[in-house]
Amino acid sequence: MIYILAVFLPPLALLLNGQPFAAVLNLVLLAVCVVLTVLTLFAFPFLLLLPSAHAVIAIAMRRDDRRHREIVDAIERHGPPPGWRR
């Protein structure tokens, strides 16, 4: 669900994901892309995909970091998995 929101409303998706600085950066990126697209008379409409791509990548990276942190915390709390060789 957050990825769909990231495609259509990238700054809001980043805010809801807990990334306020990335949301501000994405809002600036979105404004620049809209201005450049309008100034070039829509010659480069693919520029509007950049903020969405940034949001999707940032959300995916944040989720991966959370997942890795949970795994490391579980290993620290309970020890290595059975059968793990040193």
Q: What is the pLDDT of residues 28-72, one digit of tens each?
A: 999 999 999 999 988 888 998 999 999 999 999 999 999 999 999
CA angle 78, 66, 75 (to 5 degrees): 15
**pLDDT confidence band for 7 (50 / 70 / 90):** very high
**pLDDT confidence band for 86 (50 / 70 / 90):** low
Helix (H), strand (E) counts: the chain? 4, 0
Write the DSSP symbol of residue 81.
Answer: P
For residue 4, is pLDDT > 80?
yes
pLDDT digits (tens, 9 = 90+) for 16-26: 999 999 999 99
